[in-house]
Every structure is written in structure tokens, then in C-alpha cells.
Structure 1
Amino acid sequence: MTLALLLLRKIAPWLLLGVLLLTCTLYLRHQWIRHAGRARQAEQAVARLQAELAQARLGERVVVRYVDRVRILRANAADLHQEIPRHVTTSADAACPVPVGFVRVHDAAAQGVPIDPAAGDPDAPAPGIALSRVAATVADNYGACHETAAQLTALQDWVRGVQAIRTP
């Protein structure tokens, strides 16, 4: 027994050191895995925030271009309205009465409904509707059409831009 005790005394510190090293190794490995997971989460959060920032910048760019385009379109429409009296004069209003049939077709098209088959002569002049008023209405309609087209173009630009941004 003395020999076993002597052997145990010589081996015990090494055994204790081995257990201590194994415990430290396991603890450090656990910490490394935990921190690696946190680093991955942080990298994903950074990538997500960068994508959100890119989308916000894209949205701002698209909106600024759209607003600038609409401002130009509205200025052009205002200029066009000022030119109507010069190009569709009062003598043209008097010489070219707008027929009721034209008014029916225009109103049905503007509302997106079938033409009202109202009784009466389609060639009869529409009371109170001058050719210059028709020109102004047509100019307004085309102006609205151009604004809608600009809005759609801006939306398409935004969608293409968002699709190009990599999101995690």
C-alpha cells in the first residue's frame, strides 16, 4: 500500500493538472462557440441594416426624380393652358360648335362606361361647351396621363432597384 500511495502522490498532481487543462479547454471551446454565434448574428444585423439603408437611399432618389418630373409636367401643362386662347380662338369657338355626340363619347371614355344612348341628334351643338373648353379638358387629361406614367415609371425604377439590393 505504501507503493500505491507513493505512486498516487507522484501521479496526483499530473492528474489534477490534466483535469484542470481539460476543464479549461472545454470552457474556452464553449466560449469560442458562443462568441462565434454572436459574431454571426452581428454580421447578419449589419448586412440587414446596410440593405435597409440602401433601400431608403434608393427610395429617396426615386421620389426626388419623380417629384422633379411631375413639377416639369405641371409647368408644361400650365404653359399649355396659357396658349389655348392663342391657338383655339373665340372665332374658332364660334365657327366650330362641339357636337353632343362628341361630348357623349368623351364623357363615357373619361368615366370608363359605355356610351349613353341618349335620344337626340348627335350632330346638334352641345350647349355651353366651346372648342376651347374641349382643348383645355384634353390638355388636362393628357397632363394627368403623363403624371400617372411618371408615377408608374418611378415605381418600376424603385422595384428594379430594390431587387438589385442584396438582402440577407
Structure 2
Amino acid sequence: MNRTLALVLAALAALLTAAGAASWVTHRYHAAVKRADDAVAEAASLRMQIDNTDSSIVTVTEYVDRVQTIRVKGDTIIKEVPRYVTVQADAACTVPVGFVRLHDAAATGDVLDSDPGDSDAAPSGVALSAVGSTVAANYTVNNETAQQLSALQATLRAQGVTIIGEDPAP
């Protein structure tokens, strides 16, 4: 009976050892599978980042070219102001202080006084050609900024980002 008990205990110990070893191997297998899955996911993420970087480089190059074109056109328009707003036009048109204040407030986003007052009707000393050059320069900067924003939005869309105010991409 002792011998049978010893054999049963030995078999039980061997079975427990085998079960423990199997559990350890199974745990190691699942850990290896998880590491492999994580590596595959990271590789996919890195591939996507590389693809986005490539498209970003193209987008930046395109937008820089477009902004440069806008700047050249704006500079050309500003150079043409004397042809379209002549010295005679400068002499014939008095730009009032109120217009200058209104323009400057609009450019800076400030709020004007509710009562313009008599001083706003006085001549400002600013020539009409200077107004034309300033407006052309402001529109050039506005167009450059709009192009930069469009390029940024295109880059973000290419990366799968939803832009506020737009419908999500399908």
C-alpha cells in the first residue's frame, strides 16, 4: 500500500510538474504572440507616418510655391499702383482721417468710437496711392494666409484628421 501510495504521489507530482510546465509554455507563447501583434501594429503605424510625411513634404512644397506665386502677383500689383492711381488722382482725392481710422481699426480688429466726430472729416495727409498700395498689400497677405490654411487643412485631411466645421471623411 505504501508502494502504491508512493507511485500515485509520484505520478501526481509528475502530472503537476507537467501541468506547470505546460502553463508556463502557454503563457510564454501568448506573450510572444502579443509582442508580435504589437510589432505588427507599430510597423503599420510607422508606415502610415512615413506615408503622411511623404505627402506632407509634397504639400509643403506645393503650398510654398503657391504662396510665392501669390506674393509675386501682389508685389506686381503694388508696383502698378502709380499707373492706376496717378499723381493727378492723388491730388484730386482727399483721404479723410475717418477713413484711415476705419481702415486701421479693421486691419487690427479694434472697435471704433461710436461717434466719429468732426476731426474724422479732416484730410489725413495720406495719398490715395498709399491707400491703394496698403489695400493691395493687405489682400496679398490675406491670400497668402488663405493658401497656407488650405494647405494645412489638406495635410490634416490626408492624415485622417476631421477638421471642425467639415463633414467627416467617409
TM-score bin (small chain): 0.7 to 0.9
Write the mapping of 1:95-114 to structure 2, written as runs, cut at 5 A.
95-114=92-111
* TM-score in terms of structure 1 length: 0.74
* Letter in structure 1 aligned against 2:80: E
When residues 27 and 85 of structure 1 are mapped into structure 2, their CA distance, relative to the original with a 3 A threshold, is: same
* % identical aligned pairs: 41
- Unaligned 5+ segments in structure 1 are 9-14
Aligned counterpart in structure 1 of residue 72 of structure 2, from 75, 79, 92: 75
When residues 30 and 82 of structure 1 are mapped into structure 2, their CA distance, relative to the original with a 3 A threshold, is: same
In the comparison of the two structures, how many residue pairs are matched? 150
1:117-140 per-residue CA deviation (whole Å, 9 max, x = no partner) reads 354251x3212x101000000001
Answer with 135-144 or 21-30: which moved more.
Answer: 21-30
Partner Cα distance (1:126, 1:26) in 2: 90
Residue 11 of structure 1 corresponds to which residue in structure 2?
none
* TM-score in terms of structure 2 length: 0.73
Write the mapping of 1:51-62 to structure 2, written as runs, cut at 5 A.
51-62=48-59
Deviation of 1:23 (Å):
8.8
Residue 39 of structure 2 corresponds to which residue in structure 1?
42
Partner Cα distance (1:163, 1:90) in 2: 54
1:138 aligns with 2:101: no
SS in structure 2 opposite 1:120? helix
Write the mapping of 1:1-168 to structure 2, written as runs, cut at 5 A.
29=26, 32-116=29-113, 117-120=116-119, 122=121, 124-127=122-125, 129-163=126-160
Deviation of 1:151 (Å):
1.5
Over aligned residues, Cα RMSD in angstroms?
2.7
When residues 102 and 121 of structure 1 are mapped into structure 2, their CA distance, relative to the original with a 3 A threshold, is: closer
Deviation of 1:102 (Å):
1.4
When residues 121 and 157 of structure 1 are mapped into structure 2, their CA distance, relative to the original with a 3 A threshold, is: closer
Deviation of 1:100 (Å):
2.0
Answer with 31-40 or 80-89: which moved more.
Answer: 31-40
- Unaligned 5+ segments in structure 2 are 162-170
When residues 48 and 121 of structure 1 are mapped into structure 2, their CA distance, relative to the original with a 3 A threshold, is: closer
Partner Cα distance (1:115, 1:58) in 2: 45
* Letter in structure 1 aligned against 2:119: G
Deviation of 1:88 (Å):
0.8
